[in-house]
Amino acid sequence: MTNSREFEFKISIIGDGGVGKTSLIKKFTNGTFEKDYIKTIGAQFSKYDKKINEDVINLIFWDIAGQKDFKFLHPLFYKESRAGIIVCSLEVNDLGKNSFLHVENWCKELEKYCGDIPVVLFANKVDLVDENKLSKIRFREFAENYNLLEYYITSAKTGEGVIEAFNSIIEKLYYKYKTLSSQK
């Protein structure tokens, strides 16, 4: 006889267009990377099952388009999210600079529509910069100032940090809801 349980979590993945949200999801869920950029229209979702201990976690990743054209749909897409992942780009160009500047807006939007849910920051595309010159202090300070669980330096292309980053938020949800369900 087993005491396994099943949990289902919706995780919204947000950030400016072109920062690698879709690529990060594909790297985590199938281990693949596609170099050609295809803009997400509205939102798309991916399902992924994971086992922790004997329990099954059914995950639904909502990949929400970052372009302003789709902003009016965000309140609908965030509904019932249990956690959020905000992605910015580390590229040394306007996309990278602006995507980090916009993280604050993404935090506020998540809080407005989802309330107090766990959120992590993925600073993506580390493969395109010299990691030795990367100042991680600004990410740590931002995470502390906005009460984020953590920040992770990732690369959807190489896979650096991706498994660890996704697992951190999944495990946080799992242990939180496992504890809540055992108190009932």
37-52 residue pLDDT tens: 676 766 788 999 999 9
pLDDT for position 37: 67
Residue owning tokens 């202090």: 137
Is residue 123 a part of any domain in this protein? Answer: yes
Q: Which domain holds residue 163?
A: 6-182
Per-residue pLDDT, 4: 86
Cα–Cα distance measured from residue 90 to residue 86, given in angstroms and rounded to the nearest whole number: 13
The structure tokens 């980090």 sit at: 100
* pLDDT tens readout for residues 146-161: 999 999 999 999 999 9
Answer yes or no: is 92 within a domain. yes
Using one digit for the tens of pLDDT, what is the confidence trace for 107-119?
Answer: 999 999 999 999 9
**What's the pLDDT at 150?**
96
Quote the pLDDT of residue 162.
98
Sites in the chain below the pLDDT cut of 50:
1
1 in a structural domain: no
Report whether 89 contacts 178 (CB < 8 A): no
Instruction: Indicate the pTM of the whole model.
Output: 0.92
> What is the domain-level CATH number for residue 114?
3.40.50.300
Phi/psi-derived region of residue 20, left when phi > 0, alpha when psi is between -120 and 50, beta in every other case: left
Q: How many domains does the chain have?
A: 1
Residue 169 is assigned to a structural domain of this protein: yes
In a domain, 167, yes or no: yes
Strand stretches in the chain, DSSP E = 6-14, 43-52, 55-64, 83-89, 119-124, 150-153
